[in-house]
Structure 1
Amino acid sequence: MIILISSAKTMSSSSSIIVPERTVPIFGAEAAGLMKQMLQYSPEELKEILKVSSRISLETILRYRRFFEPDYFGLPAILAYTGVVYKHIAPEDFSPEDFLYMQEHLRIASVGYGLLRPLDSIRPYRLEYDVQLPDFDSGSVADFWKPKLTNKLIEDILADDGILLNLASKEIRAAFDWKKLDREVKIVTPEFKTWRGGKLKTIVIYAKMMRGQMTRYVLKKRIRVPEELVGFGSEGFNFRPEFSDDKSLIFTV
């Protein structure tokens, strides 16, 4: 079973955690090409394009420039991203064997790098799927990635057991041919919902926390089939079979 999670906007450039190996991103050359294109924008343009503050816009320009420094090697993706999902994966107590297992069974949908393995070394960046690329007529970052990522993800899933555990946010679907993916492999999507006003609703912060904790649970316990996920429970969330089917596993609190 392959787990798919999303990248995060917040990133770090240092970590004291030791990993057993570092690998090279499969789409590293494409990532560098994207960063070169983004360097064509001014800080003022980036502020509008990325919908960020002036401070973050300037920081982003510096990240694009540093991307090409030859003596800067970055961090493994699982340590570089620092968003809520990654905090709840909590890789600081993973053993070398855990990291190697993770490398085989976890994939990260990345706006900047396309598709990553957790031990792929990456450099900080900031980007969005809907950004229009200067050298790609009428095309967005998602359009750039779509023909490249779909077949690679399918290849990785079929090389395993044909099952994708989809713990990524919905926005990543723009960078994949999701209908083709759904035809070629079995996709199981856990959803984490909270009762509000008599209805089940997705609260983003809780969903991110649970995606991280379920990723950790699957990796640490070496879960290989979705049926074993019914035993997962955390922060009051538990499996609800009455709301679930073979494609969606619903957990509520």
Structure 2
Amino acid sequence: MQILLSPAKDMTDSPSVSLPSLTTPLFLAEAEHCAEQMSELSTEELSQLLKINPQLAALNKQRYTDFPALTPQAAVLSYTGMAYRHLRAAEFSPEDLAYAQQHFWMTSFLYGLLRPLDGIKNYRLEGNVVLPEHDGQTMFQFWRTRLTDVLIDAVKADDGVLFFLGSGEMKQLFDWKRVTKEVKVIMPTFQVMANGKLKTIVVYTKMMRGALARHLITNRVTATEDWQSFEYEGFALLPDSTELRPAWAIL
């Protein structure tokens, strides 16, 4: 089984966990070229392009300016958003990390696709950004032709199953029709009961994606029955869930 999780916008500069040697991202050359293009933009341009405040724009202007000299850190410890807080990768055993390195992907608008131990540098980028040398393509379009075969081939080389724990927009990084046609894709949902109706609340969905990814990794899940018993923070699998669209909820 291959597992895919979205990136987080928040990143840390100083993970304190000792890890094995870092690996090289598959699309390092592309990432460095994109970072170079971003470094040529002014702070004001970055603020408008990324829709962030001047302080964040200044921080990311400095990151891109210093990009060649920055020290890479493990991708799985670089992101600090809600999903990654509940993934708790810093607590992985060496065996967990080795398994994750073979089965766990993270999407990235700068790096395309990442494995946990890939060495990356801090950045900020959005999928709808059009860089000067991309012939009018957004980052979604830029990556689509590059990532689709990589993901499909990795899933087929495993057991043909992809557990998709990304946000909906991450599908745009791939030819999603091809992905769903060529491999088995499991896409879970997470909801809470509010005013008599099940509703999706983003913060809980992010939390559960990270927690479920952790469960799949630390338990070496390979079959449906191995994830059906997953429960976390009051969320339990609904009885009418299907294999491809499992639904966890707090009732």
**If the length of structure 2 is used for normalisation, what is the TM-score?**
0.96
**Per-residue deviation, 1:65:** 1.5
Aligned equivalent of 1:118: 116
> What is the CA–CA distance in structure 2 between the aligned matches of 1:179 and 1:62, rounded to whole Å?
38
Amino acid corresponding to residue 8 of structure 2 in structure 1: A
Aligned equivalent of 1:248: 245
**Per-residue deviation, 1:11:** 0.8
Amino acid corresponding to residue 55 of structure 1 in structure 2: Q
> What is the CA–CA distance in structure 2 between the aligned matches of 1:29 and 1:175, rounded to whole Å?
18
SS of the residue corresponding to residue 134 of structure 1 reads: coil
**Root-mean-square deviation (Å):** 1.1
Alignment deviations for residues 79-134 of structure 1 (CA, whole Å, 9 cap, x no partner): 11111111111122211111111101100011110000000000000000001111
Worse overlay, 211-220 or 223-232: 223-232
Contact 1:6 1:108 in 2 (8 A): yes
**Per-residue deviation, 1:17:** 0.9
> What is the CA–CA distance in structure 2 between the aligned matches of 1:241 and 1:160, rounded to whole Å?
28
Aligned equivalent of 1:214: 212
Contact 1:13 1:74 in 2 (8 A): no
Task: Map residues 43-54 of structure 1 onto 2, 5 A cutoff.
Answer: 43-54=43-54
**Per-residue deviation, 1:246:** 2.9
Aligned equivalent of 2:40: 40
**Per-residue deviation, 1:207:** 0.6
**Per-residue deviation, 1:222:** 1.0
SS of the residue corresponding to residue 195 of structure 1 reads: strand
Aligned equivalent of 2:28: 28
Aligned equivalent of 1:203: 201
Does structure 1 residue 231 correspond to structure 2 residue 229? Answer: yes
Amino acid corresponding to residue 27 of structure 2 in structure 1: F
Which of 95, 105, 108 pairs up with 2:106?
A: 108
> What is the CA–CA distance in structure 2 between the aligned matches of 1:239 and 1:220, rounded to whole Å?
19
Aligned equivalent of 2:151: 153
> What is the CA–CA distance in structure 2 between the aligned matches of 1:36 and 1:226, rounded to whole Å?
44
Aligned equivalent of 2:174: 176
Aligned equivalent of 2:141: 143
Aligned equivalent of 2:128: 130
Amino acid corresponding to residue 106 of structure 1 in structure 2: F
Amino acid corresponding to residue 247 of structure 1 in structure 2: L
> What is the CA–CA distance in structure 1 between the aligned matches of 2:137 and 2:15, rounded to whole Å?
35
List structure 1 segments (4+ residues) > 4 angstroms apart after TM superposition.
Answer: none
> What is the CA–CA distance in structure 1 between the aligned matches of 2:120 and 2:160, rounded to whole Å?
27
In structure 1, the gaps of 5 or more residues are: none
Contact 1:193 1:202 in 2 (8 A): yes
* Residues paired across the two proteins, number: 250
SS of the residue corresponding to residue 248 of structure 1 reads: coil
> What is the CA–CA distance in structure 2 between the aligned matches of 1:148 and 1:107, rounded to whole Å?
15
Which of 172, 188, 191 pairs up with 2:189?
A: 191
SS of the residue corresponding to residue 68 of structure 1 reads: helix
Amino acid corresponding to residue 78 of structure 1 in structure 2: V
SS of the residue corresponding to residue 234 of structure 1 reads: coil
Amino acid corresponding to residue 216 of structure 2 in structure 1: V
Worse overlay, 233-242 or 222-231: 222-231
> What is the CA–CA distance in structure 2 between the aligned matches of 1:62 and 1:221, rounded to whole Å?
40
% identical aligned pairs:
42
